[in-house]
Amino acid sequence: MSREIDRRALLGRALALGATGLLGGCDYDNLQHPDLADRFLRAMSSWNDRVQAALFNPHTLAPTFPASAITRPPRFNAYYDRDQVRVVDGATWKLELSGLVTERRVWTLADLRAAPQQSQITRLVCVEGWRVIGQWGGVPLQWFLRRIGADTRARYVSFRCADGYYSSIDMESALHPQTILALDFLGKPLTPAFGFPLRLRIPTKLGFKNPKSLVALGVTNVYPGGYWEDQGYNWFSGS
């Protein structure tokens, strides 16, 4: 209850601040200068991140769906075309860990298969304006972070992918019960196009915050950004 009131009070203050920001920032002359316009938009986006983080309720679940609602065929998306997908060798693949973790040994596919698994039928929403429902199964990130001795007071969990893609999420979202390190898609191991051997599946965030074909995970207090985030897409991007 008091948490709810805190959120509201914060939102009220944030909205008031934002309105002031808009009045101050939106004058025509400023927007004639690309630098200033850019800085203004980035400031607004970072303000937006803070409001979204304050409103994020770690106990609210993303909607789940019956198997009959699954989108078939699934829809592929990446920053390149499907015929450019890189194929990862599962036998030699490993997940590297860095940053604020005490158990830094690498994880193999067999290690991850031996961990507790969880399955979900949820919706993936892309900023491009389409959405699909799919089924993903894998290791709860919350379990994984505790298992590797992650400092869960750190601000960020970062991800790097086999194709050079990268992204990062806030710790609260990383610990959300529906955030998983997915090994399976539609009841079978992930295919290369959909992120073999391991992808982040986080139904409380937009599609671009679901990096595929992971090769490294880090826990850090230094803002890690992301492939699209660094090009101006809003970082928090809850969905």
Ligand X SMILES: Nc1nc2c(c(=O)[nH]1)N[C@H]1C(S)=C(S)[C@@H](COP(=O)(O)O)O[C@H]1N2
Name the site residues for ligand X (rule: CB under 6 A).
Answer: 75-79, 124, 126, 161, 163, 165, 194, 207-208, 210-213
In the complex, least distance from residue 159 CB atom to ligand X, rounded to whole angstroms: 9
Sort residue 237 into left (φ over 0), alpha (ψ -120 to 50) or beta. left
State the binding partner of 159 from Mo ion, ligand X, none, CB within 5 to 8 A by kind: none
Place of tokens 């939106």: 26
Query: CA 212 → CA 67, 201, 209, distances in Å?
Result: 23, 9, 9
The residue at minimum Cβ distance from Mo ion is 126
CA distance 176 to 61: 8
When the beta carbons of 100 and 162 are compared against Mo ion, the nearer one is 162
Interface residues with Mo ion (CB under 5 A)? 126, 207-208
Least distance (Å) between residue 16 CB and ligand X: 34
Instruction: CB nearer to ligand X: give 107 or 208.
Output: 208
Which one of Mo ion, ligand X, none interacts with residue 107, CB within 5 to 8 A by kind?
none
Query: Which residue lies nearer to Mo ion by CB, 48 or 77?
Result: 77
Token digits of residue 206: 């937009």
Q: How far is the CB of 77 from Mo ion (least distance, A)?
A: 5
Distance in Å, CB of 79 to ligand X, minimum:
4
**Cα–Cα dist 22/30, whole Å:** 12
Buried residues in 77-98 as b, exposed as e (16+ CB within 10 A): bbeeeeeebeebeeeebebebe
Min dist. Cβ of residue 195 to ligand X (A)? 6
Q: Say if residue 203 is exposed, middle or buried (CB neighbours under 10 Å; 0-12, 13-18, 19+).
A: buried
List phi, psi (to 5°) of 193: -65, -30
Query: From ligand X, Mo ion, none, which one binds at residue 237 (CB under 5 to 8 Å depending on kind)?
Result: none
> Least distance to ligand X from the beta carbon of 17, Å?
31
By beta-carbon distance, which residue lies closest to ligand X? 207
- What is the spatial distance between Cα 69 and Cα 186, in angstroms, rounded to a whole number? 12
Give strand pairing partners of 123: 133
